[in-house]
Amino acid sequence: MTEILRVENLKKSYDGFVAVGGVSFSVKQGELKALIGPNGAGKSTCFNMLMGQLKPTEGRVFFDGKDITGHKPRDIWRKGVGRTFQITGTYQSMTVIENVQMALMSHHRRIFTIGPRAWKLYRDEAMDLLGVVAMQDQADRPCSVLAYGDLKRLELAIALCHKPRLLLMDEPTAGMAPSARIELMQLTADIVRDQGVSVLFTEHDMDVVFAHSHHIMVLNRGELIADGNATEVRNNPQVQEVYLGGGTLFKEETHA
Amino acid sequence: MLSVEGIHSYYGKAHILSDLSFEVRRGEVVALLGRNGAGKSTTMKSVMQLVRPRKGGVTFQGRELVGEPAFRVAKCGIGYVPEDRRIFTDLTVLENLEVGRQPARKDAPHWTTDQLFEIFPNLDERRANRGKHMSGGEQQMLTIARTLMGNPALLLLDEPSEGIAPVIVEQMAATILKLKAQGLTVMISEQNLHFARAVADRAIIIEGGEKKFDGSFAELEAHPEIRDAYLSV
Amino acid sequence: MAFFLAQFLTGLANAAALFLVASGLSLIFGVTRIVNFAHGSFYMLGAFIGITLMDILPGHVGFWGAILLTGLAVGVIGALTEMIVLRPIYRAPELFQLVATFGVILVIQDLALMIWGAEDKLGPRAPGLRGVWRIFGEPVPKYDIVLIAITPFILFALWYLITKTRLGILVRAATQDREMVGALGVNQAWLFTGVFALGSALAGLGGALQLPKGGADLLMDFNIIGEVFVVVVIGGMGSLPGAFIAAVLISVLNVFGVTYLPQSTLVLMYVVMAIVLIIRPWGILGREEAAGEHGQVGSPERPIRPYGPKGIALTSAFVLALALVPLFAEQFVLTLIVDMIVFALFAASLHFILGTGGLVSFGHAAFFGGGAYAAALLVFHTGTPMELAFLFAPLAAGLLALAIGWFCIRLSGVYFAMLTLAFSQLVWSLAFQWRDVTRGDDGLVNIWPAEWLNAPAPFYYFTLILGTGGIIFLRHVIHSPFGYALRAGRDSPRQAEAMGIDVKRVQYAAFCLAGIMAGLAGGIFVFSKGSVFPTVLEIGESFDALIVVFLGGVKTLAGGVVGAGFMTGVEDWLTRLEYWRLLLGLVIISVVILMPEGIVGTLSTLWRKIRHTDEETIR
């Protein structure tokens, strides 16, 4: 498998406080990889640097062999990196399908066009994408009335609009019911398999992490303390100490 | 102590709670369980009157709360810790606590900042820090401490374990048990059954805004079909 | 050198009142999120009440007592205003409240006229402080020295109140999340009233304190508000020391400006503001506004659709009916409809960036008036034929928008609003003070249309075609991919950036387009009136457009146009009465309270209720 994302010695510090201190890792093509760690470990900072929301203090990010360090979010998106947010950022005043059409219009570089009616553009293409996440029957509902789980699926459809080669998902299942979590991650895993996309995601739900990721990385105080498959990570004593805890509360969950 | 009788609550046009009734007795810890979107947060907000129930009643220590503004509910002795924490990020830890401060109450434990710093040692170290420079777990501790400054008789904790690392969740469970030992009545909403079982005496399960189960954890164990139907562990 | 120092001291003394008013405005905004347009009115009330009280109360104690009592009285008026006018509408969409405060301005203007009359009043001298002290030989009024000495104490007292007291902590907490403060047992309704009263009292104090240096007149409210906005923008929203520094900076600058550049005092202030903002976009001590705060109210806008056959038929019938009007109507009806169409186009252009783009501009008159002046200047100075000069109106307004937008678009929220206002004031001050070119407030006259248009009916058709054409074009753009991208940037800028949309660039382009359309309206306007005066660039003109958009309904596409029709109609009818401002103010306040979604918004909600239409899906 070839590397799609390579991160070298990524660092971020704010006035002396080191949020992320020299992290290196890579994501291979077709891989579903999780980034976990306690709150404040630097996961979000890390993600925001990959996607261009934050400029790293040091280090390099390569996507598909090209240096994208410090590029703007929209330029990184154009290169083929999709993103979903922890708190969904869909367009509340538009319908479900218009949300997808908006992404398609951007992908086809029609943002500054004033000729055609927007709601007619790329409707079929958008419908196909909604099909992937099983949302076709809700295509013409206003986005503002959607249930939370549906919003998450819509966001996934939007993220797939420009056929990304890498998807960055920040806590994709936060705030969802356990069953819906499994469903969403299953869907993500299917997309990884069918379309050859690579996914890097952060997550708090250990069920989701251990059930669906090919590889897991653990971040603590801005340092990577583990990078391996589920068994390796679960049995890593350092990981247990800083993150998973004694397991008194979660004994059952890990094999659920 | 708290009695909720047949409330119906709406968010705009969406009917979230329908005919929901339950009671919370003095000194117990009750867990409100259910999936996301089941109506747990809305139940808490309906008690606080942050969401106005359109029908039904909420009485607390014999006093009708429906229609009262939220601040008066708080003054009655109900402390509310919202799901999304909502600490005042531009204020320091001490200032956050000051916002929550209310006069002492006869029927509830009285808290001072020093007592709270004993329970939450992490906060003690960060007294003068602003809220925005704190981790999620510390923020969660701060919201609880801030609410305790109001000396509530009943504490409503909305999803205290959401988005927090497992080790901190364990600390949180210990803290809730400590509060119970001090004589506080607590109601928590949870999706995490293991956490709920570790701290609560009784479980109430809601689904689609209706009550589906109300009983002890032992009873819940005895009916795994209920657990499977509504909690999907 | 001594002269320099004396000048500097005068500036410092002038800063006292300005600082008081500005800190009040920024305090009120911080907690209630209301941009209180009526703040200048409280300042004016402070001046009038102060004079009255100083007449009654004698001597030293009387003078200073009168100032304190004035602060108290204006504070009470502020509290009443908050309770009666604003409390019912806190749940209305954001910024809707500013329409109500505009109504308050009108009401206070006429009440002041009723009570104190139209004549300017000279302020009494402070007893015992009538003369001057000589500092290095230069005379400095004693009262100035006293003001300079007092101001730091006021700053310190306010700073202490906000940072050290429980009230201050609650205020700062409420600034961030009012609902949570309520859930913690604080009665936020009274907190709001208290803060509003305090802010108003500060404005009243400012008005009373400046009396010995100035006086009281009915134009004070608008005259100070522009300066106050500049101070708040330069200092940084919500920062007391920032407001102080900025007040000193602006006042000192004004004093030196009067001495060295008497022709450009006003311009100078806005130039300094522009320079500060290039270096520090959020003001000297301001911080970037945190996004995503709690307490946002109002349901999201409904998805939009172009008119179906029925809508098109209705619109066409309406336009056709308008086209038939000249066949039977008298000339004054035609003039009224021309005014309506011009205003509707102007409002629609503001609605385009405000409603669709989420960019609240307080200075849209710059483009309307800019367009009008551009055409008028060409005709006046070079005798350019009307056809060519008219084309220049939208072009010049577009170029102006290109320049102003470059500064403003980098900011967002209330900073954007304040900065647009300040820039429109810059344009106004140019028209007002560059007398060689613009003839100042004598205005440019004899700007008539070309021969073939110079009659009521032809000009009416000219207006009808361009006006409705402009409005239809804007609507078309809203439904195009560009309009969608604009809405995307408004709904979720983060998501838009993450899907490759350059949000700022889209907004910049929209800002320019809105400027062009406002300029077009200005072009029609100038040839319909035959003259242009600096009043078309005033704050009042920008506010009129804002009011109209909010009254019509921000979240509806027809809002601007309907609001403009309503407003022009009501104004035309009311201005025949003596105290029309009072009545208009009351009309505005009642519409705001009774129809919190605006006229179109409230009507369409009612309509849907009556017909029980399916809320969920469209089409």
SS3 for C548-586, per residue?
Answer: HHHHHCCCCCCHHHHHHHHHHHHHHHHCCCCCHHHHHHH
Asked if residue B65 belongs to a domain, the reply is no
Decide if A178 touches B, using CB distance below 8 A.
Answer: yes
Report the distance separating Cα A65 and Cα C553, nearest Å.
51
* Same domain for A73 and A199: yes
In single-letter form, the type of residue at position C362 comes to F
pLDDT the model gives residue C105: 93
What pLDDT, on a 0 to 100 scale, did the predictor assign at position A123? 92
Greatest CA span in chain A, whole angstroms?
Answer: 62
For residue B222, pLDDT over 90 is answered with no
A70: enclosing H helix or E strand: none
Nearest CB to B100: which of C176, C184, C290?
Answer: C184
Residues A131 and A198 in one domain: no
- Residue B228: pLDDT band with limits 50, 70, 90: confident
DSSP, collapsed to helix, strand or coil, labels residue A95 as strand
Residue C554 above 90 pLDDT? Answer: no
Does A169 share its domain with A142?
no
A36, A51: one domain: yes
A96 is a domain residue: yes
Query: Under an 8 A CB cutoff, do C182 and B100 touch?
Result: no
For chain B, the chains sharing at least 3 beta-carbon pairs closer than 8 angstroms are: A, C
Q: What is the pLDDT of residue C421?
A: 85
How many angstroms separate the Cα of C255 from the Cα of each of C123, C422, C432?
20, 20, 19
Asked if the Cβ–Cβ distance from C481 to A110 is below 8 Å, we say yes
Q: What is the DSSP string of B149-161?
A: TT--SEEEEE-TT
The confidence band for A255, taking pLDDT boundaries of 50, 70 and 90, is very low
Chain C residue numbers with beta carbons less than 8 Å from the beta carbon of A83 are 498
Residue B43 C-alpha, separation from nearest chain A C-alpha, in angstroms: 17
What percent of chain A stands above pLDDT 70? 90
- DSSP assignments along C241-289, one per residue: HHHHHHHHHHHHHHHHHHHH-GGGHHHHHHHHHHHHHHH-TT-SS--PP
Whether C2-279 shares its CATH topology with C333-611 is answered yes
Residue C81: the pLDDT is 94
Angle at B75 between CA B73 and CA B81, to 5 degrees: 65
Residue A209 lies in a domain: yes
- pLDDT on residue A39: 64
Q: Are residues A194 and A214 in the same domain?
A: yes
Q: Which residues constitute the domain of residue B99?
A: 27-48+73-230
**Residue B35: per-residue pLDDT:** 74
Residue with tokens 């700007």: C447
Q: Compare CB distances from C180 to B13, B82, B150 and report the shortest one's residue.
A: B82
Each residue's pLDDT tens digit, C110-151: 999 999 998 898 888 888 888 888 888 888 888 999 999 988
Q: What integer pLDDT is reported at residue B13 of this predicted model?
A: 62
pLDDT tens digits for range C408-417: 898 877 778 8
Chain B's closest residue to A86, CA to CA, is B163
- Tokens encoding A103: 């992404």
Distance of residue C50 Cα from the nearest chain B Cα, in angstroms? 37
For C451-497, write each residue's pLDDT tens digit: 888 888 899 999 999 999 999 999 999 999 999 999 999 888 888 98
Q: Using a pLDDT cut of 70, give the percent of chain B over it.
A: 96
The larger pLDDT score, comparing residue C384 to residue B71, is at B71
Q: What is the pLDDT of residue B172?
A: 86
Residue of C499, C555, C616 to mutate, interface with A, max A Cβ within 10 Å = C499
pLDDT at C94: 62
Is residue B133's pLDDT more than 90?
A: no
Average pLDDT for C581-608? 84
Please state whether A167 falls in left (phi above 0), alpha (psi between -120 and 50) or beta.
beta
Does a structural domain hold residue A85? Answer: no
- Between C258 and B214, the more confident residue is B214
CB C105 within 8 A of CB C586: no
CA distance C119 to C218: 8
Residue in A with minimal Cα distance to B135: A40
Q: A-chain residues within 8 Å CB-CB of C514?
A: none
H or E element that contains C331: helix C331-351
Residue B98 lies inside a defined structural domain of this protein? yes
The region of weakest confidence among A5-19, A52-66, B174-188, C205-219 is: A5-19
> Does any CB of chain A come closer than 8 Å to the CB of residue C299?
yes
Q: Which chain A residues are Cβ-neighbours of B85 within 8 angstroms? A: none
The percentage of chain C sitting over the pLDDT mark of 90, rounded to a whole number, equals 38
Name the nearest CA neighbour of A146 among A185, A90, A71: A90
Q: Are residues A175 and A248 in the same domain?
A: yes
Structure tokens, C598: 């605006």
What does the CA dihedral C553, C558, C563, C566 come to, rounded to 10 degrees? -130
Q: Is A144 in Cβ contact with C495 (below 8 Å)? A: no
- Minimum distance, in Å, between the CA of residue B175 and any CA atom of chain A: 15
Which tens digit of pLDDT belongs to each residue from C222-246? 888 888 988 988 888 778 889 999 9
C2-279 placed in CATH 1.10.3470: yes
Closest CA to B2 of B187, B160, B157, B180: B187
Residue B193: the pLDDT is: 82
What stretch of H or E contains A230? helix A230-234
As given in the structure block, the two tokens for residue C109 are 């203007």
Q: Are residues A142 and A171 in the same domain?
A: no
- Is A43 part of any domain? yes
Query: Residues of C numbered 487-506 whose beta carbons fall under 8 angstroms of chain A's beta carbons: which are they?
Result: 487-488, 490-492, 494-495, 497-502, 506
A7: containing domain: 1-80+164-256
How many Å apart are CA C85 and CA C71, to the nearest integer? 21
pLDDT tens, residue by residue, A143-153? 888 877 788 88
C298 or C31: which carries more pLDDT confidence? Answer: C31
State residue A251's pLDDT score. Answer: 40
Q: Give me the residue from B13, B50, B102 closest to C185, CB to CB.
A: B102
The candidate with the shortest Cα–Cα distance to C407, out of C388, C386, C431, C423, is C423
Q: Are C274 and C421 in contact (CB under 8 A)?
A: no
What pLDDT band is residue A109 in, cutting at 50, 70 and 90? very high
CATH number of the domain that B173 lies in? 3.40.50.300
The reply to whether A63 and A97 lie within a common domain is no
Can you give the C-alpha Rg of chain C in angstroms?
Answer: 25
Please check the confidence at residue C295 and state whether its pLDDT lies above 50. no
Domain C333-611, CATH class in plain words: mainly alpha
pLDDT at A54 exceeding the cut of 80 = yes
* Runs of H (alpha helix) within C409-499: 413-433, 435-438, 456-479, 481-491, 493-498
* Pair A122, A41 in one domain: no
Chain B residues near residue A252 by CB distance under 8 angstroms = 194, 233
Per-residue DSSP letter, A31: -
| Residue in C288, C209, C283 with CA at minimum distance from that of residue C240 | C283
Element (H, E) at A51: helix A43-51
Residue A250 pLDDT > 60: no
CB-based contact C491:A122 (threshold 8 Å)? no
A153 and A120 in one domain?
Answer: yes
Residue B55: inside a domain: no
Tally the domains of chain B. 1
Nearest CA-CA distance, residue B136 and chain A, Å: 6
CATH of the domain at A196: 3.40.50.300
pLDDT at B163: 66
- The complex's ipTM works out to 0.90
Q: Which residues of C365-380 are buried (b: 16+ CB within 10 A; e: fewer)?
A: bbbbbbbbbbbbbbbb
Indicate the number of domains in chain A.
Answer: 2
Inspect the interface and report whether the beta carbons of C487 and A144 lie closer than 8 Å. Answer: no
The last residue of a domain, from among A163, A188, A208? A163
- Interval C415-436: pLDDT, tens: 788 888 888 988 998 898 888 8
Same domain, A16 and A141: no
Residues A100, A127, single domain; the answer is yes
Q: Which residues pair with C281 in a beta bridge?
A: none
Domain finish residue from A129, A146, A163: A163
Domain-wise residue ranges, chain C: 2-279, 333-611
Search chain A and give the residue with CA nearest B173.
Answer: A249
Kindly give the pairing relationship between strand A58-63 and strand A3-14: antiparallel
Residues A127-175 have pLDDT tens digits of: 999 998 888 998 998 888 887 778 888 999 999 998 899 999 988 887 6
- Could you say which of C477, C488, C618 has the minimum Cβ distance to residue A95? C618
In this prediction, residue C30 carries a pLDDT of 78
| C-alpha span between C249 and C255 (Å, rounded) | 10
